[in-house]
Structure 1
């Protein structure tokens, strides 16, 4: 990486550019970008980097691709780049080939019965995530999530949170940070001052947290206070209205929240980064350039994914030149950015695939143990029937077929039931109420969890109840969110069920291998092999 020049050598426009982080795809070729409306093509990304933007956030691609991509990005840069990723559940959550952990709430489940083990596992998760991030050139981990998910209808935080109480979230979030601190990466507490108690997704609209200051100080803020005391490097703002502190501006644009509450009252001296400014919670509030200027005025050091990068830089530059923003405000942020970049420059180089643990037996054992200890079931001793004549149905229900990377032709959730005569059918939840099913034995496997861009946490229980009245339902498996289980037990008290927080192959195998007395050998006479 290039060295850091003296701050005073930067022009005003160069200094402002350092406060911008843009989005790119982890894939090597432009035509592979899954979201070209948000992910800059190579030519645009190169132009921005050569103009001096401060960083890039990456999504998608394999770990091997990203390792090559990050080298290219740093090669283009005249100053070291912050390269970030939303890797709340391990590097493998976003970049295939690396380690994917269960969602953080799985650790919260373990914490209920064994806090010490949960804390140790959270620290291990932080360390492995940081090590693997460095191996592929990512130096900014946009984790942990420190929202207290005390609203079961939350469609966007949900199992991304460590739990439903401040104690859970504080203990496990700080353990993750301590683990990551074994490596020279930046950590991020998000989404300040707390996105847990809302049923609105700020990717789509602007939620309101209507609690009074006493409640905010006792539930929402403690995890962030604990993270700051632990030495977290950055805090990400939430796109939320919090009338108790500011009746006019959302948190991302509020001096009362970012400067008064976070900087002054909590004493945070690190980086304040906005959540993505392309999210509906911001784009519906004001025009992009107004948002960019107001976020800086509120106290943000870094603007994440402004919709108009060049326009944002020009708008901030104009605001300084016209006296709307003091020039000192810009250089104060750059000083904090330089402090963060000095930290990443101390990182011990890891040459890919050094540091990638996804295939290591010890890492796989840790992931499996986390899943097993957090799993739930009813009538687990019951074994379901096999049908050698392939007479049964394996109904797999997902939020979106196009966003189901955990489903592959030979993944356990398909392959294991198939050996027992269950033929897979994959449908989206929205089609479940309209489904007309032949009355044959059916196993239902639901992959449902809270995700960004989810307007409402979809509920499959009524549809499952209707299905159970029409066909011989053998059992129900949920992978993802636990918030359906209470309603499932009430609606179908006689039906056995199993639950895992994870959706990856290890989670699938753990449950599917437990459903039958024995597992037949794989069929090597398959008609398809490509």
Structure 2
């Protein structure tokens, strides 16, 4: 085989990042997402997969068809959809984060398992309709470390049995829609305090401990037929003291392939992450990952260098061509499961009326989960007084980009003045003590505190919010605390709940969506203002 043909075969095993938007100027992360010209070139040269983010669901449907046309052969089209299609693509259904379902599991296991399976079904079917064929979910990590800044709400619980039951239910739901699934991040990212997007986490569990805890959900998903497993960028010194799991034969081949007898696709986590790039070049990382036993290489920092280096490794005989053929065959086998165009044409969702009913059912189901997962302390009611402040902490400006944002608009409608805190904005904290809010900015106003807090990629140390516990307690002592609402992190909510008086209005939602905000605030704000009146005011503001 000549080197050019070999390179095309090698390129099949790479997945590149692209925007779901059609125009280069619309890319949300241009440093990570290929331009259209480069994307077209890479697909024409044989690259076999694309991971997508951004755009509307309709745009993505068009985008996927364009990508398939550029490629001219079957493509793996995937996204990190862990909380519904709307998590990544505008207009899709958003579901409560998995940890919220785990909270329901503590009260009613049967209900939670049923919810998880339905989420899997709705997510898989909706994702398939917009052109995807591979969900990079479920997250199988057990979040047994509350200081974990990156897994957190993405996990389906804090105990092996909970995570096993709920991820298996999600997998059953997705499998009904003929979508590929992915168990991640093997062998377990839940017990880390470092985000692998920023640095390499070290986890000091030996294999015996992993088998009794972290590996239980992965074993169950493998037995249930999960299509792929993603390896996390994690160092387990007691298993392999030198290489992170992504580059470790002991983890990928000895543990996953041989001990667990997994013969599906094994994919790396994104090689562009600092856990890898801090030490390895794109080419070296790609060769080492494949040599460790991985089939698909996700998002190397320099895609051409990575493909060329792996091609050279095969051409020189450093890695056998047999290994290349085995990985290509595994990829083909999985693609064949989701490629039947005739089945797709027969899909109910190609009928617009049926599709609209399906999306309405998905939305209603999502809202019903929100109601089941919300906590409002008994008789919690909040009334605005003169100059009271609605103090909101956000970590993402997208949260307030919509014209209607209940966490701002509903308190404003009953008399609160809005004040937003963001890590990039002016700090509200005292210069010498972060346990106290700077009094000069607030005067003697009473404060309604709404905190949007969740662990997620790249949040790093900004995830730690324990200073709010003392700050809120001090406001309570000064009789200046109107109430507290936590959206997202259950750990901060639990700590605050233990530290404030029972008479202080308190509410919690694992979901940060507008629907969750509306549900909580409509329960606890003393107001005769209706949604219709707020909509009317918004329409007046919109008019030039």
> What TM-score comes out, normalization by structure 1 length?
0.93
| CA RMSD, Structure 1 to Structure 2 (Å) | 2.2
Check if 1:198 corresponds to 2:192. yes
Q: What residue is the counterpart of 2:249 in the other structure?
A: 255
Match of 1:155 among 144, 149, 152: 149
Q: What residue is the counterpart of 1:462 in the other structure?
A: 470
Q: What residue is the counterpart of 1:400 in the other structure?
A: 396
Q: What residue is the counterpart of 2:452 in the other structure?
A: 447
Check if 1:529 corresponds to 2:542. yes
The runs of at least 4 aligned residues of structure 1 exceeding 6 Å deviation read 352-355
Q: What residue is the counterpart of 2:516 in the other structure?
A: 507
Bigger Cα displacement from structure 2, 241-250 vs 195-204:
241-250
Check if 1:520 corresponds to 2:525. no
Check if 1:82 corresponds to 2:76. yes
Structure 1 CA distance for aligned equivalents of residues 104 and 464 of structure 2: 26
Structure 2 CA distance for aligned equivalents of residues 446 and 525 of structure 1: 26
Structure 2 CA distance for aligned equivalents of residues 29 and 173 of structure 1: 36
Q: What residue is the counterpart of 1:479 in the other structure?
A: 487
Structure 2 CA distance for aligned equivalents of residues 399 and 451 of structure 1: 10
Structure 2 CA distance for aligned equivalents of residues 335 and 362 of structure 1: 38
Helix, strand or coil at the partner of 1:498: strand
Check if 1:321 corresponds to 2:329. no
1:170-210 deviation line (CA, Å, top 9, x unaligned):
10001111100011211000000000001100000000110
Structure 1 CA distance for aligned equivalents of residues 358 and 483 of structure 2: 32
TM-aligned CA deviation for residue 519 of structure 1: 3.6
Structure 2 CA distance for aligned equivalents of residues 48 and 373 of structure 1: 46
Contact 1:397 1:445 in 2 (8 A): yes
Unaligned runs of 5+ in 2: 431-437
1:408-464 deviation line (CA, Å, top 9, x unaligned):
232221222122111222111572424421222321111110010122222132343
TM-aligned CA deviation for residue 115 of structure 1: 0.8
1:3-26 deviation line (CA, Å, top 9, x unaligned):
xxxx99x93212110000000001
Q: What residue is the counterpart of 1:497 in the other structure?
A: 506
Contact 1:397 1:427 in 2 (8 A): yes
Helix, strand or coil at the partner of 2:367: helix
TM-aligned CA deviation for residue 130 of structure 1: 0.7
Report the number of matched residues: 519
Contact 1:98 1:358 in 2 (8 A): no
Helix, strand or coil at the partner of 1:99: coil
Helix, strand or coil at the partner of 2:493: helix
Helix, strand or coil at the partner of 2:300: coil
Q: What residue is the counterpart of 2:123 in the other structure?
A: 129
Q: What residue is the counterpart of 2:387 in the other structure?
A: 391
TM-aligned CA deviation for residue 348 of structure 1: 1.6
Contact 1:52 1:78 in 2 (8 A): no
Q: What residue is the counterpart of 2:212 in the other structure?
A: 218
Bigger Cα displacement from structure 2, 262-271 vs 367-376:
367-376
Check if 1:11 corresponds to 2:20. no
Q: Could you say if the C-alpha distance between residues 30 and 385 of structure 1 is closer, same or farther in structure 2, counting changes exceeding 3 Å?
A: same
Q: What residue is the counterpart of 1:94 in the other structure?
A: 88
> What TM-score comes out, normalization by structure 2 length?
0.91
Structure 2 CA distance for aligned equivalents of residues 112 and 480 of structure 1: 17
Check if 1:418 corresponds to 2:412. yes
Contact 2:414 2:526 in 1 (8 A): no
